[in-house]
Chains A and B, each alone.
Chain A
Amino acid sequence: MTAWQPSASIAALKQRAQIIQQIRTFFAQRNVLEVETPLICEHTVSDPYLNSFTCVDPTNQQTLGFLQTSPEYAMKRLLAAGSGDIFEITKAFRQGEAGKQHHPEFTMLEWYRVGFDHHTLMDEVDSLLQLILGVPAGERVSYSQAFENTLHLNPHTATVEALSHAAQQTDATIHFEQRDDWLDFLFGHVIGPGLGHGKPTFLYDFPASQAALARIRPDTPPVAERFEVFVNGIELANGYHELNDPVEQEKRFTDDLAKREQLGAAGIPIDTKLLAALQHGMPACAGVALGLDRLLMLALGVSNIAQVMSFTDPLSHLHDTA
């Protein structure tokens, strides 16, 4: 018998539709414009740890483009073109990401607010979570404070030896070459799961080495004006006070590509159109991407992402089905 049924219940899909409606109303009330950007993009993200699906033209076997991993670059080009505040609810695709909280094809809510910094945008994310999840107002904890609270380590100054010692309390066999990988491991295994219980945790001011596309504030030590949101230990959203300096942006691209090569990840072309848009001028803004399926998991109280998606079967072989 062919298993044709959806992976989510019809009741869950009704709640999904209602919540998406609530989100659209939330942004309409704030005069944030809904936009749609292409799923197949000429350029894709340079993040060394993200792998894109490529689309091949069947007539000549040439690469047509990539399935987008987030609408970020396209939305920034809209901002540079004068769109003002925008939001998008879109499918995004990430090769090799499958698990209880991951599916290679998922839905992302991403939005940009002109004139906001990361703290003002955290306020808005907080309002949205209170509306959708009925949670109390969130707490703000700096990345450094979260490390101090849990591991009594300063993530900006701790030596690799101290970080590896802490990590080996969790798994004695783990080993990394890069300092940031130790931080990621500790964050993902020890700190993250403990955040956002009782109320959302907004974690902000990341190490400058993990800035991605956030501005770096020249404090001592310098920090990236980036935040992440955790609810019940689940990473729900990632936001930036957006970098809009084309020179710095190009440097980040180049650094990412060097790291991709070092990791053996696929080489990708630099998005010259994003650079051109930044050269034209993108207004100062803050932006955030929120995993809509995870928000639904939290709203519905389910533990597997498949329970909020109509169908996962075309890619279900990528999951451990046990």
Chain B
Amino acid sequence: MARYNTSEFKSGLKIMLDNDPYNIVENEFVKPGKGQAFSRVRVRNLKTGRVIERTFKSGESVEAADVIETEMQYLYNDSTEWHFMVTDTYEQFAADETAVGDTKQWLKEEDRCMVTLWNGQPLSITPPNFVTLKVTDTDPGVKGDTSGGGSKPATLETGAVVRVPLFVQIDEVIKVDTRTGEYVSRA
């Protein structure tokens, strides 16, 4: 596996630390006028999401992590795994519950997601920023109230529950921001 020297460090670089893949969030060059130079990095563990700080001596090298992000189409869930496909090559990947995590509540068949692969296995899934999903259950609300002044929970076709305005009814299709989990508009 390739190695990266500290002089190649920059944000976005994927490296291996303590057998886990990490993404460099921030790299700061630290050097006193006299004495040893360092690279002080903030890194995110791509498995757990936890951010830690590490210091490397200038000139040290670390193992590169074989991590790539690929756009894939979400196919289906077979109750234990979630299946994705690279549409250009028809190559399919199966992600387990750990990799899918909370993203599963936004996965609608045929939507395109970013799949992070580590050593060829899905490590995490990033849903589209906005998804359009059908409301499968919500209280009828007050008929004729279109003022938008108030909200209620609505269950969507993927199982996600979001707060929607009172006028939104069952079977309507709405647009949701997956980064915040908030209702945006009727689709």
Contact = CB atoms under 8 A, between A and B. Distances in A.
The size bracket of the interface on B is 20 to 34
A188 B31 CA distance: 7
A238 B28 contact: no
Given A173-B54, A322-B12, A210 B35 contact: yes
Interface in A141-190: 170-171, 173-174, 176, 180-181, 184-185, 187-189
B30 A322 contact: no
A187 B34 CA distance: 11
B170 interface: no
Contact of B37 (A97, A264, A320): A97
B55 interface: yes
Contacts of A235: 32-33
Interface string B34-53: 11111010000000000001
B11 interface: yes
B122 to A, nearest CB: 26
Interface residues of A, number: 33
B55 A184 contact: no
Interface SS of chain A: loop
B182 to A, nearest CB: 27
Max chain B C-beta neighbours (<10 A), residue from A99, A212, A235, A289: A99
B22 interface: no
Contact of B35 (A49, A174, A322): A49
B33 to A, nearest CB: 4
Contacts of B31: 49, 97, 99, 102, 188
A98 interface: yes
Contact of B55 (A101, A170, A228): A170
Given A188-B30, A188-B35, A192-B32, 8 more contacts: A49-B31, A49-B34, A99-B28, A188-B31, A210-B35, A318-B7, A320-B10, A322-B27
